[in-house]
């Protein structure tokens, strides 16, 4: 493969990774029992169209409710507003143009978007590493334990493509070109808030860098020129507006300013209280003493990881993105089994993992470990098995 064009290498490895995931899905489907969606032992296409895929299908076919559904006590019930519109909208267009079913259209978009994401991620990694290391980093993303979600009708692959594109354009300082990518990203999944925070902090850093260099008497060939700073300021404003766009749309349609947050918190069973869910989960897992300390230990370990040499090699933009996204999860996320899937936007750390060592044994072992954990993720979380109290852990 070394003589093949880079895009053939990346595309071939990504497709191979998705075939491995497909085999795992099919093997797990053979053991799937009675479930809420289809008969036991479903085929592959039925098996990947469950969980949130059904909600995206609902948004595609029926749109979003103008009135939030509630129970007898007035509590908002699960509804499509928790699922951003870009993915089902593209599915509707694809289904209309091709005549295929909505489920097939969403699956096709997810698979194509995943391939596109792998290509963009490689280009992003090449800004910080050699071809071979960038290729290994892309393979790590493609085989990550939750990477199987990139081929199911979820918006993760589309969001990953748009996020990687936005980060690539930011690193290349093409801030004006990044604006449409950021707006589309904000309409695919809830990554707009941490991205806006990252761009805002990056703008402040670049302004400080620019004027510090000027005051030190250095040449005007600073990291950012004045026009670039203005472009970055514009991207900061667009990112902030984009982060609020979907909640604003939900408000405009339903007339309820909290329509999105009320819907989003239905799945966690209580109102949004920043940071608190991490302590609740810590106490549940480790007890009243260690459970309170667990979030602080986690933050300390993540901060230490961000300071290590392989992560520093990512550069300012990617490190800042990882820090802002993890901060976003700490503030707003209710940690549970879906948390594993929500770690996918931290994909730049895959390049850091590849930079740890050039050893083929090390890198190959990481891929093998990821594939084994992918089996665990699919069998444990994707396949449905009733819990004693009803329901199942979501993937």
Q: Is the dihedral of CA 236, 240, 246, 249 positive or negative?
A: negative
- Supply the pTM of this predicted model: 0.96
Report the half-sphere exposure of 240 (CA within 13 A, side-chain side).
11
Among 188-197, 259-268, 314-323, whose mean pLDDT is lowest? 259-268
CB 32 within 8 A of CB 383: yes
How much is the pLDDT for 77?
94
Contact 236, 206 (CB under 8 A): no
* Confidence check: pLDDT of 124 > 70: yes
Assess whether pLDDT exceeds 60 at residue 338. Answer: yes
389 occurs within a structural domain: no
State residue 219's pLDDT score: 43
Is 200 part of a structural domain of the chain?
A: yes
| Residue-level pLDDT at 214 | 55
Q: What are the tens digits of pLDDT across the range 20-72?
A: 999 999 999 999 999 999 999 999 999 999 999 999 999 999 999 999 999 98
In a domain, 323, yes or no: yes
Is 80 exceeded by the pLDDT of residue 270?
no
The rounded distance, in Å, linking the Cα atoms of 393 and 381 is 6
Residue 187 belongs to some domain of the structure: yes
Please report the pLDDT score of residue 222 as a whole number: 56
* pLDDT (tens digit per residue) in 69-102: 999 888 899 999 999 999 999 999 999 999 999 9
For residues 97-126, give the mean pLDDT.
Answer: 97
In a domain, 266, yes or no: no
For the segment 355-382, the average pLDDT, to the nearest whole number, is 97
Residues 6+ apart with CB under 8 A from 16: none
Task: Report how far residue 226's alpha carbon sits from residue 228's, in angstroms, rounded to the nearest whole number.
Answer: 5
DSSP 112-178: HHHHHHHHHHHHHHHTTS-HHHHHHHHHHHHHSTTGGGGGSSSSHHHHHHHHHHHHHHHHTT-HHHH
Any domain includes 393? no
For every residue of 258-299, which 3-state class applies, written as one string?
CHHHHHHCCCCCCCCCCCHHHHHHHHHHHCCCHHHHHHHHHH
Distance between CA atoms of residues 354 and 339, nearest Å: 23
CA quadruple 186, 191, 193, 195: dihedral positive or negative?
negative
Residue span of the structural domain in which 143 resides: 6-260+273-382
pLDDT digits (tens, 9 = 90+) for 200-229: 999 999 999 888 865 544 444 457 889 999
Q: How many domains does the chain have?
A: 1
- For the record, the structure tokens of 2 come out as 């070394």
357, part of any domain? yes
What percentage of the chain has pLDDT greater than the value 70?
A: 97
Q: How high does pLDDT run on average in the chain?
A: 94
Residue 392, in any domain of the structure: no
Identify the H or E element spanning 225.
Answer: none
Largest CA distance in the chain: 73
């Amino acid at each position: 493969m070394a003589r093949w064009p880079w895009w053939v290498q990346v595309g071939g490895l990504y497709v191979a990774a998705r075939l491995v995931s497909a085999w795992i899905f099919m093997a797990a489907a053979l053991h799937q029992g009675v479930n809420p969606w289809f008969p036991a032992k479903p085929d592959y296409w039925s098996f990947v169209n469950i969980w949130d895929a059904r909600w995206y299908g609902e948004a595609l076919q029926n749109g979003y409710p103008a009135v939030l559904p509630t129970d007898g006590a007035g509590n908002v019930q699960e509804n499509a507003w928790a699922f951003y519109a870009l993915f089902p909208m593209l599915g509707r267009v694809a289904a209309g143009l091709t005549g295929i079913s909505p489920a097939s259209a969403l699956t096709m978009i997810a698979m194509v978007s995943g391939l596109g994401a792998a290509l963009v991620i490689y280009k992003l990694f090449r800004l910080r590493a050699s071809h071979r290391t960038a290729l290994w980093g892309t393979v790590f993303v493609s085989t990550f334990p939750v990477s199987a979600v990139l081929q199911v009708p979820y918006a993760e692959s589309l969001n990953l493509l748009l996020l990687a594109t936005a980060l690539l354009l930011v690193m290349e300082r093409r801030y004006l070109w990044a604006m449409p990518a950021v707006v589309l990203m904000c309409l695919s999944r809830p990554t707009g808030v941490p991205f806006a925070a990252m761009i805002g902090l990056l703008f402040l850093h670049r302004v400080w860098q620019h004027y510090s260099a000027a005051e030190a008497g250095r040449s005007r060939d600073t990291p950012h020129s004045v026009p670039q700073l203005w472009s970055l300021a514009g991207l900061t404003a667009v990112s902030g507006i984009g982060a609020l766009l979907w909640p604003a749309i939900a408000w405009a349609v339903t007339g309820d300013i909290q329509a999105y947050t009320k819907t989003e918190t239905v799945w966690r069973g209580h109102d949004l209280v920043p940071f608190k869910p991490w302590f609740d989960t810590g106490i549940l897992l480790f007890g009243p003493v260690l459970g309170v300390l667990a979030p602080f230990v986690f933050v300390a370990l993540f901060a230490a990881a961000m300071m290590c040499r392989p992560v520093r090699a990512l550069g300012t933009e990617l490190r800042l993105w990882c820090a802002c996204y993890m901060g976003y999860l700490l503030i707003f996320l209710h940690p549970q089994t879906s948390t594993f899937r929500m770690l996918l936007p931290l994909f730049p750390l895959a390049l850091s993992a590849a930079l740890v060592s050039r050893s083929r044994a090390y890198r190959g072992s990481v891929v093998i470990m990821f594939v084994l954990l992918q089996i665990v993720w699919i069998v444990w979380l994707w396949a449905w098995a009733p819990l004693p109290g009803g329901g199942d852990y979501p993937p």
